[in-house]
Structure 1
């Protein structure tokens, strides 16, 4: 690169203005004042630094400015406490609360009943009271159940397949459709009469596991597995698809609910009954079983 040339017009103008400003400051005495101020500031800074060094050597910290004194205001109390203090006798409201024993006052305590006839009598009374309470609770429950069942019975049998009335208390959840509905079966004491101790005859029950996996409503049993509720009810050895697969009695016969298919890393089938019947299969389970066989072989 070549050497730089002379000053530009801008630099020449800048230098001229700087010279004018310095001359003006000298004429007004500003440069002298600025020097005095800088000397004073440097002297104060050096003095504070020396003081801090001396404090560090002596082992004491520099004293801070004292805090302004606090103004004490009267203690605020609620009107309720003020009224209680005014109404109480002298000496009772002031000071901490103490027990009667510590204050020197005598107290009388009731003696506990001795073991014998008195304790037996008290125990019998307690048992009678508990029995009466249980009977009252049972009566109230029966009244509530009967009232609810009476209102819902008009629509309960509208749909025999999956039921038409949802009931979170009496209804039993189907493993496939996840509907907790009253069954539409005639003669079901649980759904028809509201007896919680009776089973629902409109839901299946696996003879092996007796778990929620084996609970299916009439419609899901027919559509998903091609079985009839009346025949299953007569068969006391009926097993759910989970137990059939576990025991190996029917190969590739699996539970085709969306929950169980996702656990197997299989996509749920959705409403596949129409495709299954078009292809000649009795149910979705038969269609799925054939697909699994083809995939295995």
Structure 2
């Protein structure tokens, strides 16, 4: 096949290129461009920024206020007299614990280091719903605002208090109970038990501490009846003593130890199926599973 001829567009384009080149040669632009390139290549930059390596060994380290305060305490404790207890730990206090937003007044929370956080001896061991909290002999009282809010929720309580609140084994909320006649949570009387938390007659451990709401929803028992029953035992002790081997604790911690999936909010499914609580549902399921395996 022969070569095709150029089109009119290409002829017009080539003619315009030749015309532009002739015009640039007439104006001397080619010579000017070459001179500018040679000047630009011959000029060397003079204000280059020199890199200087900083010697950090001579720079003092920044110290936070907390570390400076800790160093000051250590220095002060080293020069203290020998009659004080050695190796004391100074606790960090949040604004809530200082009485700014918490349920305890500021005066009652500023405990002395000698008394706060001490572990009770064997003679001082108490039931789990009456733990001993030493505050250096200071007068304890709730602020009027928190006293009015304490009984807003009778089930689990309305006030969270990490110092005086007793932790429920299931919901793990350290709250002051909402019982109106509880002297421990209303007057902060450490010699009285919290009547809004249960206590196992067998183990007296934290496994048997349940609030009113968790006791009813998870185990189908009333707090008033449990409080009257001096022989009441937690699910751990009931199973351990063989009273009812299928009556187990259904908290997430205990179910994971059994390699069982936590039930979550299973009370709605339990009540739809006619069970009184989640524990009754699990007891029936464990019995059926045991029969199938057998």
* TM-score interval (norm. to shorter): 0.5 to 0.7
SS at match of 1:157: helix
Return the alpha-carbon distance in structure 1 between the equivalents of residues 287 and 143 of structure 2. Answer: 47
Q: Which residue of 2 aligns with 1:158?
A: 152
Contact preservation (8 Å) 1:241, 1:255? yes
Q: How many residues align?
A: 159
Match of 2:260 among 266, 271, 295: 266
Q: Which residue of 2 aligns with 1:296?
A: 290
Match of 1:231 among 221, 225, 233: 225
Q: Which residue of 1 aligns with 2:235?
A: 241
Deviation at 1:262, TM superposition (A): 0.2
SS at match of 1:292: helix
Deviation at 1:151, TM superposition (A): 3.5
Deviation at 1:173, TM superposition (A): 0.1
Contact preservation (8 Å) 1:157, 1:164? yes
Match of 1:255 among 239, 249, 259: 249
Deviation at 1:169, TM superposition (A): 1.6
Q: Which residue of 2 aligns with 1:36?
A: none
SS at match of 2:230: coil
Contact preservation (8 Å) 1:225, 1:284? yes
After superposition, residues 1-297 of structure 1 pair within 5 angstroms as 138=136, 141-142=138-139, 145-146=140-141, 148-297=142-291
Deviation at 1:186, TM superposition (A): 1.3
Deviation at 1:166, TM superposition (A): 0.4
Where structure 1 has 5 or more consecutive residues not aligned to the other structure, the ranges are 1-132
Over the aligned positions, Cα root-mean-square deviation in angstroms equals: 1.6
Structure 1 residues 204, 149: closer, same or farther in 2, change over 3 A? farther
Return the alpha-carbon distance in structure 1 between the equivalents of residues 136 and 146 of structure 2. Answer: 21
Q: Which has the higher contact order (CA 8 A, sep 6+)?
A: 2
Kindly report structure 1 stretches of 4+ aligned residues shifted beyond 2 Å.
148-151
Structure 1 residues 149, 188: closer, same or farther in 2, change over 3 A? farther
Q: Which residue of 2 aligns with 1:92?
A: none
Deviation at 1:152, TM superposition (A): 1.4
Deviation at 1:230, TM superposition (A): 0.1
SS at match of 2:147: helix
Return the alpha-carbon distance in structure 2 between the equivalents of residues 168 and 281 of structure 1. Answer: 35
Deviation at 1:150, TM superposition (A): 3.4
Q: Which residue of 2 aligns with 1:72?
A: none
Deviation at 1:149, TM superposition (A): 4.5
Return the alpha-carbon distance in structure 2 between the equivalents of residues 259 and 222 of structure 1. Answer: 19
Deviation at 1:196, TM superposition (A): 1.8
